[in-house]
A and B are shown apart, each in its own frame.
Chain A
Amino acid sequence: MTTNILLSGVGGQGIITASRVLAEAAMLSGFHVKKSEIHGMSQRGGSVESHVRFSPDGLVFSPTIPFGEVDVLMGFELLEALRAIPNTKPDALVLVEDRVIVPSSVTCGPFEYPADVLDQLYASGRNVRVVDAFKIACSLGEPRAANIVLLGAASSSLVIDAQAWEGAIRRAVKAKALDVNLKAFEAGVAAGRSG
């Protein structure tokens, strides 16, 4: 059985780093794993997706998740979570950060940011849970660690060893940011349990 996790958000939110940690942790837990990032030409501000797939038995073929097969969606921004919803299984777990980043098509274009994104997410019938990752990261003094908070919240739903997570974080983040990221992960685990 392949587990399919989709991380969706905005360039600059640390999605690539979070998916890197996730893939490394899956490898350290002994799974076959593939990961694929999809982003456009800008480094900041555009939509970013990362697909992570791992399997305990046999090979993962496609590096991207087939449409409608996502088991866990991690949404780093409300609109991007809503955009990704059609990709998920009907009973998927959706962890979403309650944060709005307004796209240029709204600020300077004809579009409107939907007012009821959370309602639409709940109406999708998926198992939707809101995680205050950004606020938690701010309380730790590092708003950029929100990505690892959200990952911590997702961890309790994934069959990955606790030591594997720590090992993967150690590999993926710089030494001076390690401490705050480990704390962010723990805070995320706690938030995931209480959420």
Chain B
Amino acid sequence: MSEKAILSGNEAVARGAWEAGATFGSGYPGTPSSEILPALTALGDCYTEWAPNEKCALESAAGASLAGARCLVTMKHVGLNVAADPFFTLSYVGVNGGLVLLDADDPAMHSSQNEQDNRHFARAAKVPVLEPSDSQEAKDFTRLAFEISEQFDTPVMVRTLTRVAHSEGLVELGERTVPTRECGPVRDARKYVMIPAYARARRVFMQERTAKLTAFAEETEINRIEPGSPDIGIITSSVAYQYAREAAPEASFLKLGMTWPLPPGKIRQFAGSVKKLYVVEELDPYLRDQVLALGLAVEELPESLQIGELSPERVAAGLRGGDVAPASNDLPPRPPVLCAGCPHRGVFITLRKLKAFVTGDIGCYTLGTLAPLSALDTCLCMGAGIGEAHGIEMACGEKGKTVAVIGDSTFVHSGITGLVNIAYNGGSSVVVILDNGTTAMTGGQEHPGTGVTLSGRPGRLLDIPGICRAAGIPNVVTVDPRNLEQVESTLKQALESPEAWVIVARCPCILKARPDAFPRVIDEDKCIRCQVCVRIGCPAISTEATDDPRKPQPRIDPVLCTGCNLCAQVCPVSAIGEMEGGACEV
């Protein structure tokens, strides 16, 4: 019997690439895809790296593929927006060594700024898509994707969803087989140089390729009919298949593992074998529209099923023509918050105090927008905060002087070009780089600004203040965000200045380097219950009711407190001090 392991969908994708003999992996962390490259690195025998952004990752993989390597590139759905430029033309160029792009979509936006169905992207770029429905298929399909890639001279997208990426299941492990292909760049301008004359020829090739891929889709076992009752037939893919199997075990299924191009013959055959035909899929009616275009009659499902994640009960309700109302109760919600001891909190407290207009960005510091910090006014996409600050200022002049906040990893990803734009065009925005020395939100990945590579080797450390100076920003200073006085005086100076500023607020992520400090404790005799410490939004500080409903007694949870001392700095009566001993003494 072969060895089995419990793997997440992400670990299984890494295993599939490893078994397929991939020797190059690149990507940028983005939930829910972030764990794939670390897992591939841990398996060994494959060179892996974090790229500054998804475009860089895909372009490097294009080169590695040209040289003959099998390559895996990983990103989340919005990452493909960044990599869209090389993606569309790479479909023309094709591959030498197999190239698989793992795209992870996030229905219900567990940690994303939009809900985006990237099957449309693949279809528009004419790149085949495989959709695994669990961990076993995540491994098998990734492996198969490399074969399809080389057989049909095309990049292949493997599309997962949050529930596939982050759920775990049993996987049968296989051996690694490395294709014997010599490594070295291949000179073939007609294939690799997409000037219009050569691209036109490749466009014809792509049409022929699509026809061949369609024939493959008709015969591949990953598009399979599972016969059941002829009364109800369900066409489905990805995790929606699992929900539908649970919701309607008696039904007949056409389970599509490859969702572009589709197999029209198989779809027609299946539709002809059932009385009522449904299409169950997560996010957009992507499959449904193509089935309708074949002239087949499809039962309508409520449009509300196109929003958010599905579940067995939502699919069951959908087949009955309804949807399940989201659970509601009057319990207090528990929204996400900046961690206790998060160094970004010091910057947000000060920005709120100064009433600055703040253009935000993508990272855990986006949480600075929630009460009680309420110190972030925009969030669009990676790197956009710097561009927005510049635009506001250029449109409104002095009245538009704005503070952009951006994390260190995001700054490298796509903030640098925005900063160059400010310097070049004579803007005077204030950019605060919240430098906690990691890519915190996705789980703490390394990046050029940490000076450590994905495999843990020392890399060239990006000098963040240096690159800002080199871009032409006249004022670049570094502050400690836990020192509120320093943060405030620097921000004030920058906001009053007619020049552009970069303030690097540098302090390690609390999850990366927990300081050796005792928890804080409130001296309740001195405390005037003014609630100022409560309004820094630290999850370690809660309140207990007193006789006066407006003045509950603040308390600090000694287990959650990291001793960052921000609450002591804002306390007007010095009622907060150090607890001797530690968390278990209470």
Residues of A within 8 A of B186 (CB): none
Q: A37 CA to B8 CA in the complex, in Å?
A: 10
Additional A-B contact list (6), CB under 8 Å, known A35-B167, A79-B334, A105-B335: A38-B110, A40-B111, A45-B337, A101-B560, A108-B371, A111-B332
B327, A86: Cβ atoms closer than 8 Å = yes
| In the assembled complex, B239 has its CB within 8 A of some CB on chain A | yes
- List residues 23-41 of chain A with CB under 8 A from any CB of chain B: 23-24, 27, 32-41
| In the assembled complex, B246 has its CB within 8 A of some CB on chain A | yes
A105, B6: Cβ atoms closer than 8 Å = no
The number of chain B residues with a CB under 8 A from chain A is 55
The 7 closest A-B pairs by CB, nearest first: A42-B336, A63-B167, A111-B332, A102-B542, A46-B336, A36-B167, A41-B111
B170, A104: Cβ atoms closer than 8 Å = no
- List residues 77-102 of chain A with CB under 8 A from any CB of chain B: 79-80, 82-83, 86, 101-102
| In the assembled complex, B243 has its CB within 8 A of some CB on chain A | yes
Q: A20 CA to B8 CA in the complex, in Å?
A: 10
Q: A109 CA to B163 CA in the complex, in Å?
A: 31
The number of chain A residues with a CB under 8 A from chain B is 51
CB of B118 to closest CB in A, whole Å: 20
Interface Cβ pair total, 8 Å cutoff: 164
Task: Kindly specify which of B172-180, B259-267, B532-540 makes contact with the partner chain.
Answer: B532-540
A67, B31: Cβ atoms closer than 8 Å = no
B positions within 8 Å CB-CB of A: 4, 6, 31, 110-111, 134, 163, 166-170, 239, 242-243, 245-246, 311-313, 324, 327, 329, 331-340, 364, 366-367, 370-372, 440-441, 443, 511, 534-535, 537, 539, 541-543, 557, 559-560, 583-584
B364, A41: Cβ atoms closer than 8 Å = yes
**17 sampled A-B residue pairs with Cβ under 8 A:** A32-B170, A33-B170, A36-B166, A41-B364, A42-B336, A43-B511, A45-B340, A62-B242, A66-B312, A67-B313, A67-B324, A80-B334, A103-B332, A107-B541, A108-B371, A113-B332, A114-B331
Q: A101 CA to B331 CA in the complex, in Å?
A: 14
A41, B31: Cβ atoms closer than 8 Å = yes
B167, A104: Cβ atoms closer than 8 Å = no
CB of B1 to closest CB in A, whole Å: 12
A positions within 8 Å CB-CB of B: 10-12, 20, 23-24, 27, 32-47, 60-64, 66-67, 79-80, 82-83, 86, 101-109, 111-114, 138, 141, 143
CB of A170 to closest CB in B, whole Å: 14
B4, A105: Cβ atoms closer than 8 Å = no
Residues of B within 8 A of A66 (CB): 246, 311-313
A104, B331: Cβ atoms closer than 8 Å = no
Q: A62 CA to B333 CA in the complex, in Å?
A: 26
A47, B338: Cβ atoms closer than 8 Å = no
B312, A62: Cβ atoms closer than 8 Å = yes
B110, A40: Cβ atoms closer than 8 Å = yes
Given contacts A34-B167, A36-B163, contact A104 B366 (CB under 8 A): no
Q: A15 CA to B339 CA in the complex, in Å?
A: 17
Smallest CB gap from B541: residue in A: A107
A46, B372: Cβ atoms closer than 8 Å = no
A143, B584: Cβ atoms closer than 8 Å = yes
Residues of B within 8 A of A104 (CB): 334-335, 337, 370-372, 537, 539
CB of B316 to closest CB in A, whole Å: 8
Given contacts A43-B511, A143-B583, contact A63 B239 (CB under 8 A): yes
Given contacts A40-B336, A41-B336, A103-B334, contact A67 B311 (CB under 8 A): yes
Q: A155 CA to B440 CA in the complex, in Å?
A: 34
Residues of A within 8 A of B583 (CB): 138, 143
Best-buried of B31, B329, B340, B542 by chain A (most CB within 10 Å): B542
CB of A135 to closest CB in B, whole Å: 10
Q: Which of A35, A36, A61, A105 contacts B333 (CB 8 A)?
A: A105
Best-buried of B312, B337, B541, B543 by chain A (most CB within 10 Å): B337
Residues of B within 8 A of A12 (CB): 339, 560
Q: A106 CA to B560 CA in the complex, in Å?
A: 17
CB of B107 to closest CB in A, whole Å: 12
